[in-house]
C-alpha cells in the first residue's frame, strides 16, 4: 500500500513528534510515513529526536527573513522531499493564507488544549497548561484539527479530554 508522505514541522523539543515517530514504528500510522522533520530554529531537540528515529531533519530559519522568504524555503524543502501532508506539532509560526492555500486540507495542527479554550495568540506549549491550571478547569486535553482559511481555523478532527487532578503541574498536564 502506498503511504502518504508526511512532514512534521516543529519549533522546539518535539514531544509530540516523538509520539508520532513511536506510533509510526509501532505500526499505528498505517496510511502515512514521516519522511521529513522541518524546524524553523536550528539546534532544537526535535531534530535530534528525528535523527534518533532515522528520519531526516532540516532547518528553514524564520528569523531574519521575510514571511515570504521563509515560506518559499519551506515550500522548496517540502517539494524536494515529495511531501503530501504537513503536521504542525509544536510549530510556533503562523503560516500565511497564501501558503495554506497551496496545501488544501493537507495541513493538520496538534494543539495542546480543547479548542476553543486556551488557544490563539500566546497559547502554546506549557503556557496553555499554565493558563488552564490558573483558570481552575477540571478537564483539559488536546485537539487535532485540519487547517484552512475559514474564520474558525479549520475542521476539528479529534479532541481528547483528560481530567485535571489535584497537584497537576503544567508539565504533568
Higher-confidence residue of 43 and 169: namely 43
CA dihedral sign, ordered 159, 62, 49, 106: positive
* pLDDT above 90 for 160: no
Among all chains, which residue has been given the C-alpha cell 531574519? 64
- Per residue in 113-143, pLDDT tens? 887 788 877 777 778 888 888 898 898 888 7
Q: Pick from 33, 54, 42: which is nearest to 11 by CA? A: 42
- Per residue in 61-91, pLDDT tens? 999 999 999 999 999 999 999 999 999 998 9
- Asked if 31 is an active-site residue, the reply is no
How high does pLDDT run on average in the chain?
89
Using CA atoms in the order 138, 22, 18, 82, what is the torsion angle rounded to 10 degrees? Answer: -120
The pTM (predicted TM-score) of the whole model is 0.85
Single out the catalytic residue among 31, 111, 129, 145: 111
CA R_g for the chain:
16
pLDDT of residue 81: 98
State the pLDDT confidence band at 154, using cuts at 50, 70 and 90: low
* Mean pLDDT computed over 87-112: 89
Q: How far is CA 149 from CA 37, 39, 64, 82, 153, in A?
A: 24, 23, 26, 23, 6
CA distance 131 to 127: 6
* Mean pLDDT computed over 32-44: 97
Helical (H) or strand (E) element with 22: helix 15-25
Give the number of other CB atoms < 10 A from CB of residue 51. Answer: 12
Amino acid at each position: 500500500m502506498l503511504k502518504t508522505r508526511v512532514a512534521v514541522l516543529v519549533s522546539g523539543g518535539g514531544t509530540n513528534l516523538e509520539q508520532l515517530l513511536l506510533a509510526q514504528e509501532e505500526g499505528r500510522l498505517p496510511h502515512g510515513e514521516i519522511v521529513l522533520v522541518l524546524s524553523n530554529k536550528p539546534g532544537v531537540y526535535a531534530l535530534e529526536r528525528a535523527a534518533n528515529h532515522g528520519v531526516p531533519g532540516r532547518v528553514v530559519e524564520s528569523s531574519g527573513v521575510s514571511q515570504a522568504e521563509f515560506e518559499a524555503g519551506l515550500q522548496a524543502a517540502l517539494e524536494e522531499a515529495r511531501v503530501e501532508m504537513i503536521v504542525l506539532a509544536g510549530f510556533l509560526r503562523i503560516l500565511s493564507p497564501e501558503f495554506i492555500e497551496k496545501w488544501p486540507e493537507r495541513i493538520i495542527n496538534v494543539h495542546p488544549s480543547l479548542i476553543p479554550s486556551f488557544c490563539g495568540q500566546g497559547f502554546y506549549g506549557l503556557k496553555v497548561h499554565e493558563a488552564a491550571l490558573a483558570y481552575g478547569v477540571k478537564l483539559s486535553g488536546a485537539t487535532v484539527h485540519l487547517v484552512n482559511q475559514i474564520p474558525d481555523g479549520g475542521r476539528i478532527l479529534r479532541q481528547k479530554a483528560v481530567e485535571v487532578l489535584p497537584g497537576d503541574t503544567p508539565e504533568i498536564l
